[in-house]
């Protein structure tokens, strides 16, 4: 234990202390346990020594010059107190402050990039980089409340779908923060934010528009104005009802000519099989495979598959006078035609690869229209007999 001392450690006293031969410790008169170790080289270090439940302990506080005498004295007081109580002399460093940007990085690395598909990863990254991080990235996650999320949601009110998706991504981030025990349970600030009402866009090609589109594809093929593989991809979208990504990611070993099916191993809702009709097989038969390349559709550089059909579709759409038709509307039109031909929602859901009945149910109103049209045809047919008048002689 430190001996009683008559020396009060001040800056002037510490500067004047010197030793020869070996180092020595000089203890402070007023604060028991606070001292200064002086070395013959002139090096001076502030120390603390006192007794706790586990015995005496000595702790180095810092070097004189880097630490002033007053700072060392202030630092010594809580250290002495912790030793006497049997605690660690040095408190644990504070937990690093976790910001929304930190959570986003962990969210992308651990969850999104590990479990989700490339298109979804790109979508999440876009929403983070363009909306979430500019608004909230520098804030601590503990500071984010309903007010901050509502303000972000409101700022995107001009694009309600984007606003809802942005809050959905943020909500998933905070749900995982709770799972990872970065936040206590029940602290997701997104749960109370009411999404904007959005109108699902529906556009279905009429029989005349189907014919016009077919003629346009044939004319573009004849005059060479559109890249031929793009024309084949658009035809397959029309004939299968597949998603654009499913067609662009199609491999030759996904095409089973024996069973007449596409075996999609990595579709949006998981592996599925798509029946191939004779017209679809004819389109596939007209595509030349590229040696060493597994993709059905090879990019114009010959080394990889194309990533986008939009530029080619725009040319076809304008030429066919289909001003408001997106390429995804070909999938909706496939479902619409199936309903018009009498197929039920369950069968259409399987053809389209829907994992939820509710997704296919969006076409239910078309089914009712088809039923009404069928009822009208039947009623008119029977009514014709009821209205026939026979003349008796």
pLDDT digits (tens, 9 = 90+) for 139-155: 999 999 999 999 999 99
| pLDDT of 280 above 90 | yes
Find, among 115, 1, 111, the residue nearest to 57 by Cα: 1
> Confidence class of residue 350 from pLDDT cuts 50, 70 and 90?
confident
| pLDDT of 91 above 80 | no
Q: Copy the structure tokens of residue 185.
A: 């349970």
Query: What is the rounded distance in angstroms from the CA atom of residue 102 to the CA atom of residue 337?
Result: 48
Average pLDDT over residues 74-79: 93
Contact 272, 284 (CB under 8 A): no
Which residue did the predictor score with more confidence, 115 or 373?
Answer: 115
Q: What is the mean pLDDT of the chain?
A: 87
3-state secondary structure of 208: helix
User: What does the pLDDT read at residue 13?
Assistant: 93
Place of tokens 């031909």: 341
Average pLDDT over residues 321-343: 86
Task: Report the percentage of the chain scoring pLDDT > 90.
Answer: 54
Query: What is the rounded distance in angstroms from the CA atom of residue 208 to the CA atom of residue 215?
Result: 11
| pLDDT of 356 above 60 | yes
User: What does the pLDDT read at residue 94?
Assistant: 67
> Confidence class of residue 258 from pLDDT cuts 50, 70 and 90?
confident
User: What does the pLDDT read at residue 391?
Assistant: 46
In Å, how far are 91, 131, 135, 179, 180 from 128, measured between CA atoms?
Answer: 36, 6, 10, 20, 20
In Å, how far are 104, 177, 201, 266 from 110, measured between CA atoms?
Answer: 10, 12, 34, 21
Which residue did the predictor score with more confidence, 101 or 197?
Answer: 101
Average pLDDT over residues 35-53: 93
Q: What pTM does this model have?
A: 0.56
Find, among 105, 109, 162, 161, the residue nearest to 131 by Cα: 162
Contact 249, 236 (CB under 8 A): no
Query: What is the rounded distance in angstroms from the CA atom of residue 231 to the CA atom of residue 214?
Result: 10
Query: What is the rounded distance in angstroms from the CA atom of residue 128 to the CA atom of residue 113?
Result: 14
């Amino acid at each position: 234990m430190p001996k009683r001392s008559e020396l009060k450690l001040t800056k002037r006293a510490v500067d004047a202390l010197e030793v020869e031969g070996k180092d020595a410790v000089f203890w402070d008169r007023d604060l028991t346990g606070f001292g200064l170790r002086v070395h013959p080289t002139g090096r001076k270090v502030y120390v603390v020594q006192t007794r706790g439940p586990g015995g005496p302990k000595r702790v180095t506080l810092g070097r004189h010059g880097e630490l002033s005498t007053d700072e060392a004295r202030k630092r010594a007081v809580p250290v002495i107190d912790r030793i006497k109580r049997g605690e660690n002399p040095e408190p644990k460093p504070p937990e690093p402050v976790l910001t929304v940007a930190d959570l986003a990085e962990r969210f992308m690395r651990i969850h999104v990039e590990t479990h989700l598909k490339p298109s979804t990863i790109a979508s999440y990254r876009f929403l983070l980089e363009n909306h979430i991080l500019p608004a909230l990235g520098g804030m601590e996650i503990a500071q984010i409340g309903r007010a901050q999320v509502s303000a972000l949601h409101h700022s995107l009110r001009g694009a309600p779908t984007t606003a809802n998706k942005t809050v959905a991504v943020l909500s998933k981030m905070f749900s995982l923060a709770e799972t990872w025990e970065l936040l206590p349970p029940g602290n997701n600030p997104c749960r109370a934010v009411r999404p904007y009402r959005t109108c699902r866009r529906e556009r279905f090609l009429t029989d005349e528009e189907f014919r016009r589109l077919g003629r346009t594809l044939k004319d573009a093929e004849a005059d060479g104005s559109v890249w031929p593989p793009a024309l084949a991809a658009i035809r397959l979208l029309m004939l299968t009802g597949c998603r654009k990504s499913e067609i662009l990611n199609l491999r030759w070993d996904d095409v089973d000519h024996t069973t007449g099916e596409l075996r999609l191993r990595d579709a949006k809702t998981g592996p599925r099989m798509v029946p191939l009709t004779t017209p679809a097989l004819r389109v596939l038969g007209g595509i030349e495979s590229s040696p060493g390349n597994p993709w059905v559709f090879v990019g114009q550089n010959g080394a990889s598959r194309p990533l986008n059909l939009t530029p080619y579709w725009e040319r076809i759409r304008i030429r066919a006078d289909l001003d408001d038709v997106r390429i995804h509307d070909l999938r909706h039109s496939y479902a619409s035609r199936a309903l018009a031909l009498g197929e039920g929602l369950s069968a259409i859901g399987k053809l389209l690869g829907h994992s939820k009945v509710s997704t296919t149910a969006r076409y239910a109103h078309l089914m009712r229209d088809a039923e009404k049209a069928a009822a009208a045809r039947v009623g008119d047919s029977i009514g014709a007999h009821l209205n026939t008048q026979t003349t008796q002689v």
